[in-house]
Amino acid sequence: MTRILHHISDILQVIALSIPVIILLRMILRKKTTQINWFHETGLVLFASYLVGLFSQTFVFNLQRDTTAFRVNLTPLNKLTEFEYIVIRDGNLSYFFIEILGNILMFSVIGFLLPLLFQKLGSAKRVILLCFLTSLTIELIQLALPRGTDIDDILMNTLGGILGYALYRLFYKLFPKGMARFHQNTL
């Protein structure tokens, strides 16, 4: 449980520290001729700060405490076998929350926010492809770092993107006007 709290604490600190920097960058880079959609701008800042937090957890903080350093798993669904040994037999629930649920939830945020903030990415195919490619890129970069690389992370991250997109579609059906406020040209 302590490990889970460390991950949450680390990512929240990075997100909080990145928000003022991202706001400043948005103020500098935003076109001055367009009217501001505050819903969209707030969503962009939160999304960008989330990506910075994800980057920190994926590459920076875990370099110091990763116990799976230099481990490469190319066997799909190997985490199910590990789950049986680590969680069920050894009772290590943090493995489930970090390695399985954490990977799914991390990318469900991306699967939800991509179509919400970027209308051109509104199709399931594009969101799923972007989640897959982002996850693949992370795992390939981790090959060059003292980190573990796992095909199951790609599968779970992509599943998370699918679930996030499904949640986006559900919210869009339930609250179409509220969700449309986040589109760039909607005021």
Q: One digit per residue, pLDDT tens: the chain, 187 residues?
A: 677 777 788 888 999 999 999 999 988 887 776 788 889 999 999 999 999 998 888 876 554 554 545 678 888 888 878 877 777 778 777 777 778 888 999 999 999 999 999 988 889 999 999 999 999 999 998 888 777 788 999 999 999 999 999 999 999 999 999 999 998 765 4
Q: List the one residue out of 168, 161, 178, 83 whose CA is nearest residue 126.
A: 161
Instruction: Let me know: does 140 contact 154? Beta carbons within 8 Å.
Output: no
Tokens 């929350």 appear where?
A: 97
Q: List the one residue out of 62, 65, 67 whose CA is nearest residue 82.
A: 67
β-sheet bridge partners, residue 150: 73
Rounded CA gap, 103 and 83, in Å? Answer: 14
* Non-local CB neighbours of 156 within 8 Å, separated by 6+ positions: 79, 100, 103, 104, 107
Q: List the one residue out of 156, 145, 138 whose CA is nearest residue 58.
A: 138
Count of residues for the chain?
187
Angle at 61 between CA 109 and CA 99, to 5 degrees: 50
Q: Which pLDDT value is given to residue 187?
A: 44
Give burial (CB, 10 Å; 0-12/13-18/19+) of 152. Answer: buried
Tokens 């110091």 appear where?
A: 64
Question: pTM here?
Answer: 0.84
Tokens 């629930």 appear where?
A: 93
* Non-local CB neighbours of 10 within 8 Å, separated by 6+ positions: 56, 57, 61
**Quick count: other Cβ atoms within 10 Å of Cβ 1?**
8
pLDDT in tens, 26-71: 888 877 767 888 899 999 999 999 999 988 888 765 545 545 456 7
